[in-house]
């Protein structure tokens, strides 16, 4: 299928085209503000579906609202008419189209033009009145508060909040793209004569700022945001996409001694913590047991021997482990246990424990295996 995308280099356009290609749509005509105007005629003749995403929302002169949101739409539809091409046309409009301002009026004029075009030609049209959008590749300091907040928080810059209680209606770019492709494939979500992105989020501005600051602090705290909350999950993915190129990594505190090192990696209140333990050859660690605390050991490099003994028994149980054959060893409660590096190189063990370490209640008792 030959697909024309106007506004192809915009926020929605880049994300849409990337996913279209992921799904096997390769014949895509990308049209942008700087594309040779003569190509519009060629694309209008050959295309089988139109995603009309081009528009103006931050012009230098307000007259550009009507030129960009009505004038170019008219030009596009005239080109389709010229070639009697009745390909479906999907246009992204805005919830601002109901407002009595120049931007809203220009978007409403573009909508009306498209609906009239459909009546005149019989072509299917889809008009999406989109709310505020967020996600990767959105330009900061332009017309997206989340893009600006993400950009600033990631760079230790101030963010301005006039009313923390102000509520925003938001749609995530992946949800938008999913819906637009549904329309392409004949499954648009309708609300009267308009189409809609069914998944939206109502969030207070102050909550957004609070979450973004917590994402920044999570590196120091070794925490992970609540991925069970759909908005938090999407906002965190968005935030990471705004990290400066030299800030993708962050250091961990390594506790080093002559035996090796122990480094906490991730701490979560409800899923425990993950650490990396490095032991030098011949070194034994452990020789303790727990009432409730339990662990999982995964040796990813080197060779080791994990030994267990029920504290009420003399029987010793042994498991040989190696980075050459990855397997998880559960550490049951009530068993004193140790792990010794029996190889010639450092042994690296990933350790998960069901609770974060609490110095007030360590639940760890020394006892030789």
Identify the three-state secondary structure at position 287: strand
Give counts: helices (H), strands (E), the chain: 9, 21
Where are the alpha helices (H) located in 222-286, listed in sequence order? Answer: 230-240
d(CA 175, CA 96): 20
Judge contact between 114 and 125, C-beta under 8 A: yes
**For the chain, what's the residue count?**
369
d(CA 67, CA 48): 26
Catalytic residue, from 31, 103, 126, 128: name it.
103
d(CA 287, CA 232): 41
In degrees, rounded to 5, the angle at the alpha carbon of residue 76 between the alpha carbons of residues 72 and 77 is 120
Asked if 103 is an active-site residue, the reply is: yes
Q: What is the 3-state secondary structure (H, E, C) of 167-187?
A: EEEEEEHHHHHHHHHHHHCCC
Q: At a CB cut-off of 8 Å and minimum separation 6, what does 202 contact? A: 167, 168, 169, 170
Q: At a CB cut-off of 8 Å and minimum separation 6, what does 220 contact? A: none
Which residues are catalytic, by number? 103
């Amino acid at each position: 299928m030959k697909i024309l995308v106007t506004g192809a280099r915009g926020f929605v356009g880049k994300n849409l085209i990337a996913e279209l290609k992921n799904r096997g749509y390769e014949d895509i005509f990308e049209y942008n503000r700087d594309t040779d105007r003569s190509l519009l005629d060629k694309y209008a003749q050959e295309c089988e579906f139109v995603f009309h995403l081009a528009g103006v929302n931050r012009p230098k002169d307000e007259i550009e609202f009507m030129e960009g949101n009505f004038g170019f739409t008219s030009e596009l539809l005239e080109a389709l008419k010229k070639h009697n091409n009745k390909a479906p046309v999907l246009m992204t409009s805005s919830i601002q189209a109901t407002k009595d301002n120049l931007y809203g009026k220009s978007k409403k004029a573009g909508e009306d033009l498209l609906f009239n075009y459909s009546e005149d030609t019989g072509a299917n049209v889809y008009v999406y009145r989109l709310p505020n959008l967020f996600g990767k590749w959105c330009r900061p300091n332009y017309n997206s508060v989340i893009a600006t907040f993400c950009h600033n928080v990631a760079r230790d810059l101030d963010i301005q909040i006039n009313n923390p209680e102000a509520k925003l209606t938001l749609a995530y770019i992946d949800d938008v793209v999913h819906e637009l492709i549904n329309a392409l494939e004949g499954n648009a979500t309708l609300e009267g004569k308009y189409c809609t992105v069914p998944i939206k989020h109502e969030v207070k501005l102050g909550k957004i700022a609070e979450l973004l600051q917590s994402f920044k602090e999570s590196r120091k705290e070794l925490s992970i945001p609540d991925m069970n909350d759909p908005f938090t999950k999407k906002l965190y993915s968005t935030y990471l996409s705004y990290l400066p190129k030299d800030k993708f990594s962050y250091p961990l505190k390594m506790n080093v001694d002559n035996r090796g090192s122990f480094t906490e990696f991730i701490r979560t209140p409800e899923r425990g913590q993950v650490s990396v333990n490095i032991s030098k050859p011949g070194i034994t660690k452990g020789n303790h047991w727990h009432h409730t605390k339990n662990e999982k050991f995964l040796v990813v490099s080197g060779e080791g021997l994990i030994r267990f003994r029920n504290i009420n028994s003399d029987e010793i149980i042994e498991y040989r482990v190696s980075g050459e054959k990855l397997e998880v060893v559960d550490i049951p409660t009530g068993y004193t246990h140790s792990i010794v590096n029996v190889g010639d190189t450092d042994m690296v063990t990933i350790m998960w424990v069901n609770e974060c370490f609490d110095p007030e209640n360590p639940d760890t008792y020394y006892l030789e295996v």
